[in-house]
Amino acid sequence: EIQLVESGGGLVEPGGSLRLSCVGSAFTFRKYCMNWVRQAPGKGLEWMATINQDGSEKYYLDSVKGRWSISRDNGKNSLYLQMNTLRAEDTAVYYCARGGISTPWAPIDDWGQGTLVTVSS
Partner 1 sequence: QSVLTQPPSASGTPGQRVTISCSGSGFNIGNNAVNWYQQLPGTAPKLFIYANNQRPSGVPDRFSASKSGTSASLAINGLQSEDEADYYCASWDDSLNGWVFGGGTKLTVL
Q: Give strand pairing partners of 47.
A: 37
* Site mask for partner 1 (CB under 8 A), range 30-59, x = bound: -----x-x------xxxx-xx--------x
- CB-nearer residue toward partner 1: 15 or 105: 105
* 17/71 Cα distance (integer angstroms): 16
Buried b (16+ CB within 10 A) or exposed e, 86-100: beeebbbbbbbbbbb
Nearest to 30 by CA among 75, 80, 96: 75
7 binds partner 1 (CB under 8 A): no
Given 92, 108, 117, 119, the residue binding partner 1 (CB under 8 A): 108
27 binds partner 1 (CB under 8 A): no
| 30: DSSP letter | G
**Cβ 25 to partner 1 shortest distance, Å:** 16
Which spans of this chain sit near partner 1 (rule: CB under 8 A)? 35, 37, 44-47, 49-50, 59-62, 95, 104-105, 107-114
